[in-house]
């Protein structure tokens, strides 16, 4: 299979989402290859992993330049993810044609992603109630080695088996392990740790799997420019703009991997978009132009008004003195 224009266009859409959110690469790219372009599952997984070796470093480089990557976190996560990615690729090879085991892994991953999406919504609600913004500086984060390595172990194994989770699953685990990181910092660190992870998984795929280089080339051509644009946007966009996109992509990925049909998935995500837009309008109420009541005048404004009144009174007094009766100045005889 040579370069395909449709695969290039589809990869561009997925690449934009990967650069913007750090999630959804394998969870969206692999189903697209299988369902829309009839690529065999093993070949789709292997080709996607090899293409990710080129795609992920582009987004990671942008975030490294912007200073939104914690290299200590990346190192500890890679310590667990790299060897487990090799193990996952080997387990996928051992499964052979037994798609039932792989399907069970995908369903379990889909359920984990749905739970993670719900948890992100819950954390958003809790953050609004506590009014504690995520303002932690990326260089001042205190790294906890044990949970960070465990995150890498879980993510590496699942990525090696399914090519899914290097972004979607990792970013959820990072969110709860380091809750004060801003969304842009989560995306940057996640994209950076995905570089050694996907490299290890791709090496395993080249060793044990079947890579279609035409599919891989189409993915690279479409996704690399798009992931660059998405990374530039996510490194500058505010937290409130990125977090809903991350949640949306993870929710869509989870629904797809628990077996929701494509048509149903489209209608469901359309309904989610409509509901989200309605909630945003209800919260902001752009049609209301509230004016502060007269009693709500601030202290500085009140002091300025009093000063102005005094100046006007003095001016009136001065004019009254100037127009006084001139006979008052004539000496008495």
Q: What is the pLDDT of residue 250?
A: 77
Among 213, 182, 170, 288, smallest CA distance to 2 is for 213
Cα maximum dimension of the chain: 131
> Which residues, 6 or more positions from 141, have their beta carbon under 8 angstroms from its beta carbon?
70, 72, 73, 178, 180, 181
Write the pLDDT tens digit of every residue in 213-269: 899 999 999 988 988 888 777 666 665 666 687 778 778 878 887 888 878 888 998
Sign of CA dihedral 194, 195, 196, 200: positive
User: Could you tell me if 186 and 68 are in contact, meaning their C-beta atoms sit under 8 angstroms apart?
Assistant: no
User: Could you tell me if 14 and 24 are in contact, meaning their C-beta atoms sit under 8 angstroms apart?
Assistant: yes
Q: Which residue has the tokens 């990967």?
A: 18
Angle between helices 5-21 and 25-37 (to 10 degrees): 160
Q: How confident is the model at residue 133 (pLDDT cuts 50, 70, 90)?
A: low
For 72, other C-beta atoms within 10 Å of its C-beta total 15
Q: What is the pLDDT of residue 196?
A: 92
CA–CA distance, 304 with 312 (Å, rounded to integer): 12
User: Could you tell me if 19 and 234 are in contact, meaning their C-beta atoms sit under 8 angstroms apart?
Assistant: yes
Using a cut of 0.85, tell me whether the model's pTM lies above it: no
Sign of CA dihedral 215, 216, 218, 223: positive
User: Could you tell me if 221 and 101 are in contact, meaning their C-beta atoms sit under 8 angstroms apart?
Assistant: no
Q: What is the pLDDT of residue 132?
A: 52
CA–CA distance, 235 with 243 (Å, rounded to integer): 13
Give the chain's mean pLDDT.
77
Q: How confident is the model at residue 127 (pLDDT cuts 50, 70, 90)?
A: low
Query: What tokens appear for 301 in the block?
Result: 């404004």
């Amino acid at each position: 299979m040579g370069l395909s224009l449709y695969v290039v266009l589809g990869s561009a859409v997925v690449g934009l989402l990967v650069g913007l959110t750090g999630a959804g690469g394998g969870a969206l790219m692999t189903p697209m290859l299988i369902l829309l372009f009839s690529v065999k599952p093993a070949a789709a997984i292997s080709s996607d992993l090899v293409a990710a070796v080129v795609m992920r470093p582009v987004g990671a480089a942008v975030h490294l330049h912007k200073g939104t990557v914690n290299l200590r976190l990346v190192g500890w996560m890679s310590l667990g993810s790299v060897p487990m990615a090799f193990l996952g690729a080997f387990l996928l090879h051992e499964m052979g044609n037994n798609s039932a085991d792989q399907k069970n892994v995908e369903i379990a991953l889909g359920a984990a992603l749905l739970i993670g999406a719900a948890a992100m919504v819950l954390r958003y609600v809790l953050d609004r109630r506590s009014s504690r913004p995520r303002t932690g500086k990326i260089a001042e984060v205190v790294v906890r080695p044990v949970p960070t390595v465990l995150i890498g172990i879980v993510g590496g194994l699942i990525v090696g088996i399914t090519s899914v989770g290097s972004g979607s699953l990792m970013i959820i685990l990072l969110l709860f392990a380091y809750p004060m990181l801003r969304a842009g910092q989560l995306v940057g660190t996640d994209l950076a740790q995905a570089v050694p992870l996907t490299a290890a998984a791709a090496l395993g795929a080249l060793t044990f799997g079947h890579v279609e280089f035409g599919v891989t080339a189409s993915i690279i051509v479409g996704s690399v420019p798009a992931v660059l644009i998405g990374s530039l946007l996510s490194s500058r966009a505010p937290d409130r703009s990125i977090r809903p996109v991350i949640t949306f992509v993870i929710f869509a990925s989870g629904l797809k991997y628990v077996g929701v049909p494509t048509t149903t998935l489209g209608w469901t995500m359309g309904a989610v978009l409509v509901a989200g837009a309605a909630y945003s309008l209800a919260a902001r109420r752009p049609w209301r132009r509230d004016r502060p009541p007269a009693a709500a005048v601030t202290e500085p404004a009140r002091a300025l008004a009093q000063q102005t009144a005094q100046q006007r009174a003095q001016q009136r007094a001065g004019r009254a003195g100037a127009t006084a009766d001139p006979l008052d100045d004539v000496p008495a005889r």
